[in-house]
Structure 1
C-alpha cells in the first residue's frame, strides 16, 4: 500500500549538486488525495533536485496515460499526458507554501514531501475536454468538437425558412408592428427627447 512517506525526500544528507528521484504512479497514489477521476493510471515521474548552499531547486516532469471516459462516446480510453513543474525551496523562520513556485521550509528541516506537487502537476496536465482519438480524427478543430455539445450561430444560419410556415413569419412581423404602434409612457417620451436634443 502506497503512503505519503514514499514521497519524502531527505535532502539534509545529500551532497551539493544534482540528484534524481523516480516514481511510478498508479491509481492508489490518487487515493491519498481522495481523487477518483481516473479509471486507472500509468505514469512515470522524475524529480531532479539541485542542492545549493542556501536553497534547493526542484524540477518535476511526468509522462504516461490516464484511463478516462470519452466526453463524446462515454467509451473508456487511455489518454496520453505529460507535463512539468518547477519549484524553488528556501529556508526561513516558518513554513510557507502560499506561492505556488516557492516553498519556504523552517531552518533545521531535513526532508520534504513531494506528493502534493506530483499530484497537482498530473491533475493540471489532464485536458478539460477528453475525446477518444478515433472521434477526434473526425473533427479537424476544437470548434468542431464544441459543436457536438452546443448549437452555435452557424447552426442557426443553416436552419431553412422552410422549417417555419410563411404565415407564422408574417404573423410575427405583424405582432412586432403592432407593438411598435402601441402608445408609450409619456415619461419615456420626455427622456427620449432629452437624449435626442443633445
Structure 2
C-alpha cells in the first residue's frame, strides 16, 4: 500500500517534548484503504506526539461523525464516534509491529507514517451493529419499519379452558392420560 505523505511525521528534526498534530479525515482517506462502509465522514484526529530521548509516545484521539446505513432499516444516519489509541515507538534492530501498543523501528529511521493507526482508530470506533437513533426511540418513519411491523409474528390468543370442544378429541386426550 502506498504511504500518504500528509500522514508522515519526520521526528528527527523535532525537539524533545510534546508536539500537536491534527488531521481532517474524509472519505478520500478511506478510498485509499478500499474501505467503502461510510457514505460520508467528517472526523478530526488529534495526535499528541511526545518525543523522548529513547522512544516516542503517540496518543491518537478521534472525534467526529460518519454517515452509515442502519443495519435494520438501511436508512442513512450520522453516527458520532469517539476513540483513543496510545502507541509507544521504540528503536531496535528491525521493524516489528506485532504488538498493537508497541512499534519497533530500525535505528536509522527518521520518520513515521501514522495513516494505518488513524485508519484502525476510526474503523474500530464503529459499533458492530449500527442502529438508527430513530429506531431506538420510535420516531423514525420508514417503509421498511412498517413492513417489518406488518410481518412480525402476532401474539397468540389464549384458548379458554371452559370452551366446548369436540367430545371425540376429549376421548383421544384421555387415551394419553390413562397410561
Give 1:142-161 correspondences, 5 Å limit. Answer: 159-160=156-157
Superimposed CA distance per residue, residues 32-69 of structure 1 (whole angstroms, 9 cap, x where no aligned partner): 11100001100000000100000000000010010011
Determine the structure 1 residue equivalent to 2:59: 59
1:130, distance to aligned residue in structure 2 (A):
1.1
Q: Report the TM-score when normalising by structure 1.
A: 0.70
Determine the structure 2 residue equivalent to 1:18: 18
Give 1:117-136 correspondences, 5 Å limit. Answer: 117-136=117-136
Superimposed CA distance per residue, residues 168-189 of structure 1 (whole angstroms, 9 cap, x where no aligned partner): xx8xx98xx7xxx9xxxxxxxx
What SS is found at the alignment partner of 1:12? helix
What SS is found at the alignment partner of 2:120? helix
Q: 5+ unaligned residues in a row in structure 2: which ranges?
A: 140-147, 160-164
Give 1:72-91 correspondences, 5 Å limit. Answer: 72-91=72-91
More helix, by proportion? 1
> Whole-Å Cα distance in 2 between the matches of residues 159 and 118 of structure 1?
52
1:70, distance to aligned residue in structure 2 (A):
1.2
Give 1:89-104 correspondences, 5 Å limit. Answer: 89-104=89-104
Determine the structure 2 residue equivalent to 1:107: 107
Give the length in aligned residue pairs. 155
Output the aligned Cα RMSD: 2.7
Query: With CA pairs under 8 Å and 6+ residues apart, which has the higher RCO, 1 or 2?
Result: 2
Determine the structure 2 residue equivalent to 1:196: none
Question: Are 1:50 and 2:50 counterparts?
Answer: yes
Give 1:184-195 correspondences, 5 Å limit. Answer: none
